[in-house]
Amino acid sequence: MTHFLTMSEPPPQTGADLLRIVRINEEIKRVVGVSLKINIMALNAIFLAKRAGTAARGFAVLSNEFRNFSQDLRSSMAVLTGVVYGCVNEVSVMLQDLRFTRLLQEAGRQAPQAALAGILERREEKSAGHRENLAKLRGQLKRAFEEAFQMVELGGVLAKSAKIEAAYGQGFALPLAQVSGEFDQIVEEIRASLEALRRSAFFSGN
């Protein structure tokens, strides 16, 4: 009887996982919003560099690279969002299964064990499959975050290079330096967000 009552006991982190993955998704949305801001900033920087002429040619090239960075970042966030939705689906199904299993276990206290043992065993197999799927998705999401983080590190290099190029902008050196500083600040903001997400307790499964 003990095996019947303890079968399919809910993993204690399942409910917490749902909250964690929802928070991750919200942060991803925020990064997407910031990436759109980078694209607008890059366009403005390109126009400013054109006004500065040949002295800001290098700055114009870097500004265009920032536009590419913005697009690549949005694509990366789209991949993350897809994996996040997969995680939400698996966790939601697991929670539904756990609730139904508890009802079956309660019914088992008032009916012969043999009447429900087979059903519970099949449900346990199904739950094990969902746990395995979620574990794979955790790994995919973690790898996707690592790739996004490396991309943002490259964005940091672009921002620092823009600061150097701004110094050669002659009469436009000051406004170019201001723009490059804004690039650096916003990239650091994204980097900090992704760093926090990489450390989310969701990845430990505890």
What pLDDT, in 10s, does the model give residues 129-184?
A: 888 998 999 999 999 999 999 999 999 999 999 999 999 999 999 999 999 999 99
What pLDDT, in 10s, does the model give residues 79-122?
A: 999 999 999 998 888 888 888 777 777 766 665 566 566 777 77
**Cα distances (angstroms) measured from residue 61 to each of 40, 50, 67, 153, 190:** 15, 11, 10, 18, 22
What pLDDT, in 10s, does the model give residues 118-133?
A: 777 777 788 888 889 9
Domains, the chain, with CATH or none: 2-200 (1.20.1270)
Structure confidence at residue 203 (pLDDT): 85
Structure confidence at residue 4 (pLDDT): 40
Whether pTM exceeds 0.85: no
- Which SS3 state, helix, strand or coil, does residue 5 take? helix
Structure confidence at residue 109 (pLDDT): 67
